[in-house]
Structures are given as C-alpha cells and as structure tokens.
Structure 1
Amino acid sequence: MRILVLIDGSKWSQKAALHALTIAKKKNAKIVLFSVLDRREAKAVAFNLGARQGSFEKIRSFEEEVWNNMKRSIQEVMGEMLRFCQSEGVNCSIKIVEGIAKDKILEEANSGKYSLVVMGAYGKSGKTRIGSLLEEIAGNIRPPLLIVR
C-alpha cells in the first residue's frame, strides 16, 4: 500500500501527514509526501512587492528571491516530516514538482501508484471554508481521498 500525502506547508497538511502516518503504521504502508511549487505564486508575490515599493524594475529579482524562498521553505518542511516518519519506522519519501498544483496533483494521484490520497481540508490561508484546491480536485481523484480537518 502507498499513501500520497499532499503537502503545502500549512498546519492542515502537516495534520494530514500525521493521519497518514497512523494509517501507514497500521497497514505497513509507504508514504509519499508530495508538493507542487507554482511559479505563478512567486510572480504574484513579486509583483505585489514591486508595486508596494514602487520598484517595478526589480520585479524579476524579487521573483527569483521569492521562488528560491518557496523552494527552500517546502524542502525544510518536508525534510522535517520525512525525518519524523522515518523515526516512527515508516517508509517515507519526498516528491516536489513544479507546475500548476491542480494538474500535477491529479496526474500524480491518478498515476495508479497509490491506494489512498490524504490532504488537509484547508490550505495555507487557513480560511474557514473548504480550500479552493480541494474543491477543484476532489471529484477527479480516483483513489480514496481522506480529507483531514
């Protein structure tokens, strides 16, 4: 059994990983921690930063800085999760890809490699309604989907 856990760095995705860990221990399953980095997010943050500072000529350098920070941040979060899973005796790996989250998640989840997909109900914004990414992908994931609140 292989469990795909969707990680965005939020407390909700970390909570989802803990639930997946519990299942993996009981079922002797492997966990794959999966995250998608979307360059469009870095572009938006860089544009807003440039607009606030009145430095539109610096947007490209802001974008690279934001992009590098995004990559470093998710690598750190997932590295900590990986070490924790391994310390609990669970076979675990990390997969980070670049692209549009919805497309990459559906591609990975529906690849035929997984018996279960686990994700948090909310994303990084932590808004009180179900996350927009969840709304986009939930009906299109073929394996069972565990949504953690």
Structure 2
Amino acid sequence: MFRKVLFPTDFSECSYKALECVRQLSRAGTGKVVVVHVLDEREFELAKTEIGWLEGARMVEYDAKIEKRMRDNVREQLEGIAGVIREAGMKTRVEVAKGVPSIEILALAKREGVSLIVMGSHGRSNLAGVVMGSVSEEVVRRSNVPVLIVTREMQNACTSR
C-alpha cells in the first residue's frame, strides 16, 4: 500500500519515535524510504545578522564553509538513520535540502512520488502545550498524500513485538 515513504527528520526525540514506525512499515510492504533533513534557510539568515562584521566576499566564503560543514554533519547522521531502515529490509536514500522545511518536504514528496510521509509531531523547539509543531502542521494541511504524525505520547505505538 505505502510502497515509497518520505521520512523527514530534524533529529528530535519525536523524529526518533517516528523512525521506529518507519522501520515497521517493511511488514506492510514498503520497499523504499527517502530520509531527508532540511537546513532551515531562516537560521542561516539569522546567523548572518549575528556575525554582520564580515564583509562581501568574506561573508560568502564563510557562509559556504559553514553550510558545507552542516551538510556533511547532517549527511552523516542521516546515513546512520538510513542504516537502521536498511536493516529492516527497505531500500533507503538520504537527502539534505536547504529552504523552508515544510515547503521543501512537500516539494520532495511530490518529486519523489511518495505514498506516505512519516514525521514527528514536534521538532527541536518542542514548545509545551502545542498540539503539533509548525512544520508538521503545515505538511499535514498542504500534503496531497497521507501523513503519519508520531507524537511524544506514542511511547510504544510502533515498537516491534
């Protein structure tokens, strides 16, 4: 039914709970999982204002070095997650994108032709009292495919028995 799944992660606690659900999808016939992390371009802009003392070409060079380091670090973490999914018997590919997370997730889901998106309900900001994080809420509202949202409260919902 869900042959190809998109698993966006921000490496938060909820994302790792969602990973457990993704692993279980192999039993339901899922054959491929695309794992993605989106570098939020708004965070890059904030960092630029905080280090505004750099000028012109130096700023561009600094930005490129920081982004490369971040991409390399993220890719390494994603490969670890992909290994867990491969052990469950599914083909896996990792992607690192840059932009507004909800927009990039939805665009990748469309480009890849996924049949399901699985993601955590709250990201790193983890605001208490909020039902869903802003990224997951936007993805649910705008997605053309089903979205499985894994919450903090789903302690054992996806663990294998």
* Cα deviation, residue 4, structure 1: 0.7
C-alpha contact 1:3 1:114 (8 A) present in aligned 2:
yes
What are the ranges of 5 or more consecutive residues in structure 1 without an aligned counterpart?
A: none
When normalised by structure 2's length, the TM-score is 0.76
Give the Å deviation of 1:122: 0.6
Q: In structure 2, how many angstroms separate the alpha carbons of the residues matched to 1:68 and 1:95? A: 14
| Matched ranges for 1:43-58 at <5 A | 43-48=45-50, 50=51, 56-57=53-54
Q: 2:20 aligns with which of 18, 21, 25?
A: 18
Are the equivalent residues in 2 in contact too, given 1:138–1:145 (CA < 8 A)? yes
Percent identical: 24
The size of the alignment, in residue pairs, is 144
Structure 1 residue ranges (4+ consecutive) displaced by more than 6 angstroms after TM superposition: none
1:37 pairs with one of 36, 39, 47: 39
In 2, Cα distance between equivalents of 1:92 and 1:57: 40
Partner of 2:101: 101
In the TM superposition, what whole-angstrom CA distance separates every residue of 1:114-144 from its partner, at most 9, and x where no partner exists? 1111111011222222211122221110111
Structure 1 residue 87 and structure 2 residue 87: aligned? yes
Range that drifts further, 80-89 or 33-42: 33-42
Greater helix share, 1 or 2? 1
Runs of 5+ in structure 2 lacking a partner?
152-161
Which position in structure 1 is the counterpart of 2:134? 132
Aligned to 2:120: 120
